[in-house]
């Protein structure tokens, strides 16, 4: 025990020292803290207007938690979810440490780098994994702190209330990881069990969604928002796995209602206990599942560190027609992307695009502001724009070997994004026509502005890759990426605000002017990145 306490204390101390010896990580930390401070400062500069009904915030919290839980838990049908690192698999699984020792150690550390050999009990290891995962789940929700400004001004939420929402987010993600591990343990190796589990899983979600829709339709009134808020207040939603009762506890903590806190926390621990018993007491052999899920996770992390391309593909791929068949020279790149999308079952609207569209529409619906929904769509797009096939192509040697001009290869490499961005933007903003009863020109202007903003962010990503290369510090590149994305949006915002506030032009014309400014900036960024394919990056030397 003394050795583990020594190891934990010195590992934490060395980690803190390491931050100060790595300028990129220190810069990222300082920028993150500064942004949180700025958001809090800006949020407290509100005009003091009466906040909106907190029932809207409660509904938003429920939708957020439900999305997190469902998207995390469904991984159990593919490759599970590991609560251990590769160091745990290699060393912890053979360590002789007792249950209380490992439990105490697991509260502070997520990795074991120095343990002895000998057998451990499965419950001991599971307990360690649970408490290690709790910290990781909380870290995933740190982005919530950056929402303080608009949440405070819109709903009167304090910083402590936002911390409650963050804790609830971590609890929801944690239970989602547990359920994913349990589902994978039950269904791995059996297609019939996978189909049965999927039927129960998605059937339960459809039942709650259908019941909620029925309540909305049966609620009297002409205001759809008020009818939806009345429906969301139904006690039935408290029984929705994780999201329902955790939302109840978080709202209770924000309002100071003791019984809601007790019910929410009690249901969380009861659910956790059920998952724990099903995995450990029912003698589920989760070792093989942990090894599989940990290996997949470790491979993905290693690939990102080494700058290698890695893609999740279905276990059973229908090859169909072989070969590219079309395209000559640089045009073959675009045709190759079409074949890869078809075999990978990735359409223009993948799961993340649908989820972001739902979040955008839901946010605009609750805030009753088109501009707020547009801003939320741009905000989420910043974090996902670098996940297209063009980003994977930069990590492969083939595009560099084509005897074509760099700018021509770059065009065909990015060609895939043109229809995809337009379709994704259309799915985000076409519902605005029915929600706000606006004209079609406004909807089209939002679609074009979002697509042009996406090209700006792609240009920023390419420019950073052109300047620093793929082998540079990921923390430094991420920091510079977010900073430059914020900078390049300024010209478009200034143009739109000036036209709207000074010349009093219609909103659609102002947004179209913003799109034109964004397009010019994106073309400028792509021009500066035109030679990016002139030489291949050597990431692994």
Of the chain, the percentage scoring pLDDT greater than 90 comes to 14
Is 24 in the same domain as 117?
Answer: yes
Query: Can you tell me the distance from the alpha carbon of 95 to that of 116, in angstroms, rounded to the nearest whole number?
Result: 5
Question: Which distant-in-sequence residues (6+ apart) come within 8 Å of 527 by Cβ?
Answer: none
Output 284 or 496, whichever has higher pLDDT: 496
Domain residues for 77?
2-295
- State pLDDT tens for residues 43-60: 777 655 656 778 888 888
Q: Is there a domain that residue 304 lies in? A: no
Task: At 513, list the tokens.
Answer: 């002017």
**Residue 448, pLDDT above cutoff 90:** yes
Q: Choose the most confident range, by mean pLDDT, from 76-85, 282-291, 472-481.
A: 472-481
What are the pLDDT digits (tens) for 88-111?
555 555 555 444 344 334 433 333
Predicted confidence band of residue 288 (pLDDT cuts 50, 70, 90): low
Q: Cα separations (Å) of 56 from 151, 166, 246, 356?
A: 11, 17, 16, 19
Q: What pLDDT band is residue 18 in, cutting at 50, 70 and 90?
A: confident
Same domain, 40 and 109: yes
Note whether 268 and 376 are same-domain residues. no
Which residue, 239, 268, 295, sits at the end of a domain? Answer: 295
Short-list 78, 227, 246, 51, CA closest to 154: 51
Q: Is residue 172 part of a domain?
A: yes
Residue where a domain stops, chosen among 244, 274, 295 = 295
Instruction: Tell which of 279, 295, 311 closes a domain.
Output: 295
The arithmetic mean of pLDDT across residues 393-411, rounded, is 83
Question: Does 339 lie in the same domain as 196?
Answer: no
Render pLDDT for 141-181 as a digit per residue (tens, 0 to 9): 777 877 788 788 878 888 888 889 988 988 898 888 888 77
Specify if 192 maps to a domain: yes
Considering the domain architecture, whether residues 288 and 374 belong to the same structural domain is answered as no
Residue 92 vs residue 466, higher pLDDT: 466
Q: Using alpha carbons only, what angle is made at residue 351 by residues 194 and 214, rounded to the nearest 5 degrees? A: 80
CB atoms within 10 A of CB 461: 22
Same-domain check for residues 466 and 360: yes
> Could you tell me if residue 310 is inside a domain?
no
Q: Which two tokens stand for residue 18?
A: 């390491």
Residue 512 has pLDDT above 90, yes or no: yes
- For residue 325, being part of any structural domain is answered with no
Higher pLDDT, 131 or 338: 338
Instruction: Specify whether 119 is located in the same domain as 221.
Output: yes
Q: Give residues with Cβ within 8 angstroms of 77, minimum separation 6.
A: 183, 184, 187, 194, 197, 198, 201
What is the rounded CA–CA span in Å between residue 522 and residue 448?
A: 13
| Full DSSP string of 272-331 | HHHHHHHHHTTT---HHHHHHHHHHHHHHHHHHHHT-------SS----S-S--S--TTH
Q: Are residues 396 and 267 in the same domain?
A: no
pLDDT at 520: 95
Looking at the chain, how many residues does it have?
Answer: 541
Q: Are residues 381 and 482 in the same domain?
A: yes
| CA-based nearest residue to 431, from 447, 418, 417 | 447
290 plus 368 within the same structural domain: no
User: 312 in a domain, yes or no?
Assistant: no
Of residues 376 and 42, more confidence is placed in 376
Total domains present in the chain:
2
320: in domain: no
* Same domain? 120 vs 259: yes
Asked if residue 494 belongs to a domain, the reply is yes
Same domain? 156 vs 31: yes
């Amino acid at each position: 025990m003394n050795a583990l306490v020594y190891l934990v204390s010195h590992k934490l101390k060395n980690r803190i020292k390491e931050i100060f010896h790595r300028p990129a990580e220190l810069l990222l930390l300082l920028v993150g803290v500064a942004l949180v401070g700025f958001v809090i400062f800006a949020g407290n500069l509100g005009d003091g207007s009466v906040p909106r009904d907190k029932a809207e915030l409660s509904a938003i919290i429920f939708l957020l938690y439900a999305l997190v839980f469902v998207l995390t838990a469904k991984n159990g049908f593919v490759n599970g979810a590991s609560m251990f690192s590769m160091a745990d698999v290699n060393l912890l699984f053979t360590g002789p440490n007792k249950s209380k020792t490992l439990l105490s150690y697991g509260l502070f550390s997520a990795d074991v780098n120095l343990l002895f050999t000998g057998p451990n009990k499965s419950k001991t290891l599971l307990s360690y994994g649970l408490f290690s995962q709790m910290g990781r789940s909380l870290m995933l929700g740190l982005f919530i702190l950056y929402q303080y400004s608009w949440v405070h001004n819109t709903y009167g939420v304090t910083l402590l209330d936002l911390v409650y929402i963050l804790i609830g987010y971590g609890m929801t993600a944690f239970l989602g990881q547990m359920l994913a591990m349990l589902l994978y343990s039950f269904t791995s190796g059996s297609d019939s069990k996978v189909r049965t589990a999927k039927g129960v899983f998605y059937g339960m979600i459809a039942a709650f969604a259908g019941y909620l829709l029925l309540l909305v339709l049966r609620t009297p009134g002409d205001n759809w928002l008020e009818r939806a808020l009345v429906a969301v207040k139904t006690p039935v939603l408290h029984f929705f796995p994780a999201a329902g009762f955790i939302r109840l506890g978080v709202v209770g903590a924000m309002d100071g209602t003791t019984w809601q806190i007790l019910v929410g926390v009690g249901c969380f621990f009861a659910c956790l206990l059920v998952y724990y018993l099903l995995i450990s007491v029912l003698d589920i052999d989760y070792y093989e599942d942990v090894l599989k899920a940990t290996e997949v996770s470790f491979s993905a992390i290693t690939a990102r560190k080494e700058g290698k391309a890695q893609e999740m593909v279905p276990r059973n791929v229908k090859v169909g027609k072989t070969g590219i068949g079309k395209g000559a020279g640089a045009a073959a790149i675009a045709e190759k992307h079409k074949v890869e999308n078809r075999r990978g079952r990735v359409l223009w609207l993948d799961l993340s695009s649908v989820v972001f569209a739902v979040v955008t529409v839901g946010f605009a619906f609750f805030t009753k502001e088109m501009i707020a929904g547009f801003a939320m769509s741009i905000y989420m797009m910043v974090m996902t724009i670098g996940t297209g096939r063009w980003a994977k192509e930069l990590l492969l040697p083939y595009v560099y070997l084509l005897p074509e001009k760099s700018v021509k290869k770059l065009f065909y490499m990015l060609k895939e994004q043109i229809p995809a961005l337009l379709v994704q933007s259309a799915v985000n903003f076409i519902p605005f026509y029915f929600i706000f009863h606006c004209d079609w020109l406004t909807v089209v202007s939002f679609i074009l502005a979002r697509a042009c903003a996406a090209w700006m962010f792609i240009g920023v990503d390419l420019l950073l890759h052109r300047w620093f290369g793929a082998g540079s510090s990921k923390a430094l590149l991420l920091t510079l990426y977010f900073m430059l994305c914020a900078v390049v949006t300024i010209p478009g915002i200034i143009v739109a605000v000036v036209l709207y506030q000074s010349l009093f032009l219609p909103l659609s014309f102002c947004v179209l002017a913003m799109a034109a400014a964004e397009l010019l900036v994106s073309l400028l960024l792509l021009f500066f990145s035109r030679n990016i394919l002139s030489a291949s990056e050597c990431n692994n030397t």
